Every structure is written in C-alpha cells, then in structure tokens.
Amino acid sequence: MAILDMRLLPDPILRKQAKKVAKVTPQLKKLVENMVETMRDQRGVGLAANQVGSLQKVAVIETPEMEEPMVLINPEIMKAEGERQVEEGCLSVPGYRGLVNRSEKVRVKAMGLDGKIYRLNAEDLLAQALEHEIDHLNGILYIDHLVDHGSLYKITYHEHDDEEDEFDGDLDDGEDEAEESTESVAVETSASGAED
Ligand code: ZN
C-alpha cells in the first residue's frame, strides 16, 4: 500500500468529471487500498479518486462508527430529502471550512469491490459524506454549496477535543482540531481558484 499525493485546489482535476468504472480489476483494488490508506493518513472521513489524481468514479468513506471503510464505485445519489446547514471542509481545500447546504437523507446506489451493486439509505454524517464525495466525482466542491458568499472561513489550528462528532468533509483535523476564526473570506473565484 502507498500513501498517494493529494491534489489541491486549484488543480484542474478536481473540476473534472470522473469516468465510470467498467469492471473491478486488480489495479482498481490497488487504487482503493491506497485511497483508504491515504484517507486514514490524512485523518479524513472520505476521499474521492480525483483527489489523488485518478479520474475513475471511485470514492471511499470511513466515519468513526464504521468497522471498515465503505467503497463506492460509480456511486449515484438516487434520492435526496430535506435540507440542513452544516459546516464542512475538504482535504483538497486545506485551511478553510464553510457553511453549506446539504440534504438530510440520501439514497445512494453504488458498486462494491465484489462487483455487485448495492443501495443504501443514509442520514446525518454519512449522508453528508456521501454527497461530498459523489460531488467530487462530478467535479463539484463543497465551496459550490456555500450557504452564502460570506460562509467560507479560514481556519486556525489549536488543540482542543470537543469536536469529535463534527463532520469535516474529508478535511484533516490532524492532531490539532480546527476551529473557524472570525475572519471570513469572500468566495471569489480568484480567492478559491474555483471555476463556476
Ligand atoms: Zn473533499
């Protein structure tokens, strides 16, 4: 296994649509293994293939409650219900967090590493992670879902540990927990490097 290099904004691969995987090959399994290792190394909750330079429709998610990581090949949101505002971050957008609109519940269809299609219903943290990672595979970043233009924050790091249950997208909190500062950053394309 290997830890892969993270692609960061404004790397154009983050804005590309990943391609559907035709079948599970040994190379794909290796990519998934490396993605899991990279996600854990970065202390992320999820990781999409374009974040590590591959345009295959593959993502992995591991929330604290999971015993093993979830592998999502060609994942699709079949249904989304409700709306809520949550704070989120992304390993590819280090140093920032934002307040975004997310669904309350989602229904997702994906293929597993065994080549079989599965469906799952999710809410809360897992629903948020699913939306975040599936967005990545479609070239969408959480900063595209900001509640408003003032809701992207630069974060400062200091040690405290009362944010265990908070979802940080696939943001790394590392050894230091992150907390938003009062300094907000305008979501200009020039500031984030994002394209509309
Ligand atoms: Zn992300």
Ligand 1 mean position, distance from CA 161 (Å): 22
Q: Give 48 Cα–ligand 1 centroid separation in angstroms.
A: 7
For residue 154, what is the enclosing H or E element? strand 152-157
Distance 135 CA to ligand 1 centre (A): 8
pLDDT number for residue 177: 40
Q: Is residue 176 part of a domain?
A: yes
Q: Which residues are catalytic?
A: 133
Q: What is the mean pLDDT of residues 39-43?
A: 95
CA–CA separation, 54 vs 13, rounded Å?
Answer: 8
What confidence category does residue 168 fall into, taking pLDDT thresholds of 50, 70 and 90? low
State whether the Cα torsion 129-130-135-136 is positive or negative: positive
pLDDT classification of 166: cutoffs 50, 70, 90: low
132: containing domain: 12-191
Q: Kindly give the distance from the C-alpha atom of residue 189 to the centroid of ligand 1, in angstroms, as a whole number.
A: 17
In a domain, 5, yes or no: no
Is residue 150, in this structure, part of any structural domain at all? yes
Rounded to an integer, what distance in angstroms lies between the CA atom of residue 139 and that of residue 84? 22
10 Å CB burial of residue 49 (0-12, 13-18, 19+) is buried
Over residues 147-158, the mean pLDDT reads 86
pTM equals 0.82
The fraction of the chain above a pLDDT of 70, given in percent, is 80
Q: What is the CATH number of the domain that holds 42?
A: 3.90.45.10
Residue 182 Cα to ligand 1 middle (Å):
22
Q: Is residue 6 part of a domain?
A: no
Query: Is 112 a domain residue?
Result: yes
Q: How far apart are CA 36 and CA 3, in angstroms?
A: 9
Q: Look at 40-49, 62-71, 79-88, 185-194 and tell me which has the smallest mean pLDDT.
A: 185-194
Q: Residue 178's pLDDT is what?
A: 41
Looking at the 3D structure of the chain, how many domains does it have?
1
pLDDT digit string, tens, across residues 116-149? 999 999 999 999 999 999 999 999 999 999 999 8
Cα 143 to averaged position of ligand 1 atoms, centre (Å): 10
pLDDT digits (tens, 9 = 90+) for 64-87: 999 999 999 999 999 999 999 999
- Asked whether residue 7 is assigned to any structural domain, the reply reads no
Q: What is the mean pLDDT of the chain?
A: 86
Q: What is the predicted pLDDT for the residue at 160? A: 52
Compute, in angstroms, the gap from residue 42 CA to the centroid of ligand 1: 12
Whether residue 1 lies inside any domain: the answer is no
Has residue 3 been placed in a domain?
Answer: no
Q: Residue 189 has what pLDDT? A: 30
